[in-house]
Amino acid sequence: MTKRTISNAEEKILEKAAKYLPGGSNGNTITQDIVIRNGKGSLVWDISGNEFIDYSLGSGPMLIGHAHPEIISAISEQISKGSTFFGLNEHAIELAEKIVQTVPCAEKVRFASTGSEATFHALRAARAYTQKQKILKFEGGYHGMSDYALMSMAPSKSINYPQAAPDSPGIPDSIQSEVLIAPFNDLESTTNLIRQHQNELAAVITEPFQRVIAPIPGFLEGLRTITTEYEIPLIFDEVVTGFRFALGGAQEYYGVTPDLAAFGKAMAGGFPLTAVVGKTEIMDYFDSESGSVTNGVLQEGTLNGNPIAALAGLTAINILSRENVYENLFAIGNKIKVSLQDMLDQAEIPANVIGEAPVFDVYFTSNDIFDYRSSQKADKDKHAKFTSLLLERGIYKNHNKFYVSIAHSQKDVDNTLNAFQSAIELM
């Protein structure tokens, strides 16, 4: 496998990044010494012309692959008609209809531009609906960059549940008292917390599949039962899992229907579009103009449901709706995932490859991974070394995930497994 070379042009661009961008980065946690020039299907190329099999997929949005010709054709026609109007457009309305037809919990839809916005506004709607203040989230759960979301998303030390710890400076101290933290996959502890704080809780929010940790059997079902018992809205953050695990997202895949959900990433074929979806009785709190509810919440966004992203979303969903798309996606992902585990086992390297076929990762530990704290016991240095060795072998991935697309081919699989084998030999 050809070793990556770095051209003078790429070095100069990186020098500019170091000068003009804080930390020389755009804030995202992926290797910063590569400047991506273009992508096509399952591949990306840097400015120096090095080719990589892409398992980052833009941190997930490119489920159908880069520069899909049907997406390009659709948006090219729309661009000539205008990029955004702030008011309604036909594509956004049709996309909302398609989402309601596809997603189990969706009765109405409100668009936004980022996952952070979608989860934040879902929480705001739940607080307006319940007239309560506190939320319960799970330690290690990622819900974007809002002050509420950045509570115990990646705590550096363990503290007693349900106390929350801020993950960033600049968050008001008062937010800590409004967020309760529970351990993912621990139904008994979570149930006890919900019962104890039932009169204060506006919502429970969770990734149904937390980062790459799958729910243990009965966890999501139990969470649905206890929140229903106390009439507390259950919110699924499906920014990652939406349209990736199934057309109806993780709620279809796992068979548990929340009250609200946030969708993004794969929904719009790489364009900035997200959505809050859910039950009419809660979603109507976004109607702050007509007076259909009292104390409707404000949720404006300049690019909400813009026609280019909405048309890209319609096109992406149509592509994903075709026969055998998900069967093939899961077959490719499982082949890579299972083969990686087998290779590590044969090399007698303690490791667990966990997740689902479309998104997974390896933890270098012999212990089971079932929540955030168990994941922190894995060898992070060994993981970083493995990721670096893969990059040298033409495999581009996030620091903590392999994303698989419907564009990945058997040739990609073969080359990936060769890269695994070579990297593992050096481990």
Handedness of CA 124, 249, 68, 90 (dihedral sign): negative
Catalytic status, residue 253:
no
Residues comprising the chain, all counted: 427
Cα distance from N-terminal residue to C-terminal residue, the chain: 17
* E-assigned strand segments in 152-273: 179-182, 201-206, 234-238, 260-263
Element (H, E) at 396: strand 395-396
Catalytic status, residue 265:
yes
Q: Rounded distance, CA 109 to CA 263, Å? A: 10
Catalytic entry in 137, 265, 337, 397: 265
**The tokens 């509420």 sit on which residue?**
148
Rounded to 10 degrees, what is the CA torsion of 299, 279, 268, 202? 60
Type of residue numbered 72: I
Q: Rounded distance, CA 46 to CA 4, Å? A: 10
Residue 424, Cβ density class (10 Å: 0-12 exposed, 13-18 middle, ≥19 buried): middle
Structure-token pair, residue 392: 């040298």
Catalytic entry in 237, 259, 361, 371: 237
Distances from the Cα of 120 to the Cα of 113, 200, 417, angstroms: 12, 18, 39
Q: Rounded distance, CA 270 to CA 135, Å? A: 30
Q: Report helix angle 307-320 to 90-102, nearest 10.
A: 30
Q: How does DSSP classify residue 210?
A: B
Catalytic entry in 46, 98, 108, 142: 142
* E-assigned strand segments in 265-356: 274-278, 352-356
In terms of Cα–Cα distance, which of 282, 297, 262, 260 is closest to 129?
A: 282
Q: How does DSSP classify residue 156?
A: S
Handedness of CA 237, 241, 245, 247 (dihedral sign): positive
Query: Where in the sequence numbering do the catalytic residues fall?
Result: 142, 237, 265
